Amino acid sequence: AQRVTQPEKLLSVFKGAPVELKCNYSYSGSPELFWYVQYSRQRLQLLLRHISRESIKGFTADLNKGETSFHLKKPFAQEEDSAMYYCALSTTGGFKTIFGAGTRLFVKA
């Protein structure tokens, strides 16, 4: 079965604290993993993708094939990081993308 699981619906942290948004996936092929973000009153947009191995706005994500996880991390959360975060998996060829249910991150001052 193809599935993306984000176990936390809501994550609340203080400004400056580390943050980790969890994502686990199930896919028999070789997936490509993404994190998308939706800020208040904005469109869903790509935050980062596994293949790029980049850090965007201080966020990083490491693909762990053994644990089938792609957790999103940031060492020091900022208030502007408050948003809805979706983990997503693209199947071979990128013809289909499966999203998790999302985690709302709230960074408190």
Which residues form the interface with another protein (CB under 8 A)?
A: 4, 6, 31-32, 43-46, 49, 51, 86, 88, 90-102
Choice between 15 and 99, CB closer to another protein: 99
Contact 36, 46 (CB under 8 A): yes
In the complex with another protein, the residue whose CB is nearer, 73 or 104, is 104
Task: Give dist(CA 10, CA 84) in Å, integer.
Answer: 9
Nearest-approach distance from CB 55 to another protein, in angstroms: 17
In whole angstroms, the minimum distance from the beta carbon of 19 to another protein comes to: 19
DSSP codes of every residue in 87-99? EEEE-GGGS-EEE
Query: Cβ 17 to another protein, closest distance in Å?
Result: 25
By beta-carbon proximity to another protein, the closer residue of 15 and 60 is 60
Q: State the Cα–Cα distance between residues 55 and 91, nearest whole angstrom.
A: 23
What pairs with residue 85 in β-bridges?
A: 37, 103
